[in-house]
Structure 1
Amino acid sequence: MSRPSAEADLLSELTELVGDDLAASEEIFRRELDCGERAVESIVEHAALLQGKRLRPSLVLVSALASGGIEEGHRVLAAVVEMIHVATLVHDDVLDEADTRRHVATVHSRWDTKTSILFGDYLFTHAFHLASSLQSTEACRLIGRATNRVCEGELIQIAERGNLNLAESRYIEIVEAKTAELVSVSCRLGSGHGRDDPRLADALADYGRRLGIAFQIADDLLDLTGDESRVGKTLGSDLATGKLTLPLVHLLHSGSKAEVDEVRRLLTEPDEQTGERLLPLLVASGSLDYARDRAEQYATEACERLEILPDSPARRCLEGVTAFAVHRSC
């Protein structure tokens, strides 16, 4: 399958900047999970097919490069954040009852729900074991706090399922926790590990937070408008599981009474045609455009946080990531 040129350009740039370090990080990832048990290793090998762009470990490494250079601890931390990310994907696919990701069967559809839950837990515990191998406990503390926030965000999102009165501010709170927090800590670990510049670490963490929100809004749009054969995962799961995304939140708060009544009717009993029926309402109300504009706004704000860095290929790459996050098609 051919990739959109923007993604191909970004991946080429990342490979040039941190390709060797990312490969070293992936070797650390594999070594940490090497237990000698074929039943476990077959799941690890399958999960590797679900990893996709490896955005979070790449952000650890590029943030480190932009902030002074990459050390061995950054490669370890890149492996750690990827383990946590894959664990959340495995658990998310259970919650969303998703059958495919990256054009590959999810763990729960390839094996079963019990295996998925245990495997996600297995990745979490290995991530913390690996983080604890570093001399400083600061990284482990930051990763622990971020993982807590991710789980809190998922729990809040479950509690808010089906809430057709969800406010945009509440939606952003959920996204900040469940998606943006891990992106934020990835950038903080890259810029802060082994260095004593809290101002720089805070700026990169804020960059990551805003990037993560932009990324999730774009994901919301793809769930409604994407091509499943290109995106490579089960679409429409947000509607099927009662999760309100930003376009719908906007429509429910700003649409005409007739539009809102129709949306509420469609969301009360969603089926396979719900997304198709909602799309004209989302277009006519400007709700899709509103969500795209908000994603662009967060991406712009993320780039502004990079002004603390000197100009360099690594900084320009971080700027490029924000553009990719909001304009991607997969």
Structure 2
Amino acid sequence: MPTYFELQTGSVMSRLDTTADLLQLVHQEIGAELVRTEEIFDEELASTNPFVGDIIAHTRRFRGKRLRPILLLLTAKACGNISDAHPILAAVVEMIHTATLVHDDVLDMADVRRHVATVNVRWNNETSVLFGDYLFTHAFHLAASIGTADACRIIGRATNRVCEGELSQVRHRGDLDLTEEAYFDMIDGKTAELCAVACLLGAKYADSSSTVVDALREYGRELGLAFQIADDVLDIMGTEDAIGKTLGTDLDQQKLTLPVIRLLSSLSSEEANELRRQIRDDGCNAGPEIIRLCQEKGILEETASTAQEIANRAAKRLSILPESPARRLLELLPGLAINRVC
């Protein structure tokens, strides 16, 4: 594994091998700020209501690698200034992300997230919806503590965009003629927007110029797009034991993702209609046939290549920043994200 010294001097630009390698370097760079983010997150959600406390304790078990707080804090560090506002904003963005996951599990009828029963399974859909709302309201309450209206406006606009993306996905459920253009617009909202706003906030509250803020927002957006494309490949090819969440929900709910859209476009009209019938009638049971056809036609490799191209584009946006360990970690994140290490 590269040493922190090598990262500082720029002598290591190759891919890290494991998630642990990356996280070790991230924690050397922004560990104290990540700890503070966790403290703020927990302090804001602390409740004297035992039932609410049980739900909070349960959802703490499926916290991930904190990609969005990492993006926000690394961006701030790369811009030269982590302020007291940054851990607060990182907690806000993570709270919103957690709320979307809780609501997503209801929409997807998912049973497992990060090897733990989802809130809707542990309790019920009503509890999940209300707890997601609880997280949203706490996020905006916390954002208001920054002392300027800008943070709430920026986060509110981003949250609206996330909701638009989710609504678009609901609208297109069962649309087995979904276009790539509609797919990209949908994932730009539901996934990429929060990554974009994390980087925007990191740069803006480090007093960066508007040019730098815009570049880093687009870096986060492209990282989020690449991440979602990789996630969609995993929904077809992954295993629940390895990934730690319910898979196959996209096919069960007739939600087309990029690999399936491209597969359908590669087939003859007759073959495509037959595959649409299988998806409509069999849901995730059509998975083996989709995998076979994707492998036969190289669709998964083509889709992975698209994710890699977008990840490369994201990394190039960082040339606007001065060289630093934080910038180098940001350069590594897109490639690692598409390999599902964050």
TM-score, normalization by structure 1: 0.96
Rounded to whole Å, the distance in 2 between the matches of 1:238 and 1:271 is 8
Any conservation in 1 of the 2:110–2:249 contact (CA below 8 Å)?
yes
Q: Take 1:39 and 1:239, find their aligned partners in 2: how far apart are those partners?
A: 34
1:81/1:186 contact within 8 Å kept: yes
Runs of 4+ in 1 over 4 A off after TM superposition: none
For 2:82, what is the secondary structure of its paired residue?
coil
Alpha-carbon distance, 1:32 to partner? 0.5
Question: Are 1:144 and 2:153 an aligned pair?
Answer: no
User: How many Å apart are 1:194 and its aligned residue?
Assistant: 4.6
Kindly indicate whether the alpha-carbon contact (under 8 Å) linking 2:19 and 2:341 is maintained by their aligned counterparts in 1.
no
Match of 1:154 in 2: 166
Write the distance in 1 (CA, Å) between the matches of 2:217 and 2:171.
27
CA distance in 2, matches of 1:262, 1:324: 36
Indicate conservation of the 8 Å contact 2:195/2:221, yes or no: yes
Q: Indicate which of 183, 186, 200 corresponds to 1:171.
A: 183
Of residues 215, 238, 249, the one that matches 2:250 is: 238
In structure 2, the residue matched to 1:73 is 85
Aligned-residue RMSD, C-alpha: 1.4
Q: Equivalent residue of 1:243, what SS?
A: coil
Within-5 A mapping of 1:173-188: 173-188=185-200
The count of aligned residue pairs is 327
SS, match of residue 323 in structure 2: coil
Q: Residues 155 and 197 of structure 2 are in contact (CA less than 8 Å); yes or no, is this contact kept in structure 1? A: yes
Offset at residue 286 of structure 1 (A) = 2.0
Q: 1:99 aligned to 2:111?
A: yes
> 2:166 and 2:29 mapped to 1: Cα distance?
33
User: Counterparts of 1:328 and 1:41 in 2: how far apart (Å)?
Assistant: 30
Match of residue 225, structure 2, among 213, 217, 220? 213
C-alpha displacement of 1:272: 4.5
The one-character-per-residue Cα deviations of 1:264-312 (angstroms, maximum 9, x if unpaired) are: 1211112442212211011112221121111011101101110101111
- How far, CA to CA, are the matches of 2:72 and 2:162 in structure 1? 18
Deviation at 1:41, TM superposition (A): 0.9
For 1:265 and 1:196, the matched residues in 2 are separated by 52
Gaps of 5+ in 2: 1-15
Report the CA distance between 1:55 and its aligned residue: 0.4
Deviation for aligned residue 1:6 = 2.2
Aligned-partner Cα distance in 1 for 2:325–2:149: 31
The residue type paired with residue 244 of structure 1 is L
| Rounded Cα–Cα distance in structure 2 between residues aligned with 1:27 and 1:5 | 30
Larger mean Cα displacement after TM superposition, 189-198 or 266-275: 266-275
Counterpart of 1:32 (choices 41, 44, 54) is: 44
Once the 2 structures are TM-superposed, how far is the Cα of residue 328 of structure 1 from its aligned partner?
2.5
**What percentage of aligned pairs have identical amino acids?**
51
| AA in 2 matched with 1:228 | E
Check 1:25–1:100 CA distance in 2 against 1; reply closer, same or farther (3 A cut): same
Q: Distance in 1 between matches of 2:341 and 2:47?
A: 37
Residue ranges of structure 1 left out of the alignment (5+ in a row):
none
211, 218, 239: which one aligns with 1:199: 211
| Aligned with residue 332 of structure 2, among 314, 320, 323 | 320
Asked if 2 retains the 8 angstrom alpha-carbon contact of 1:108 and 1:116, the reply is yes
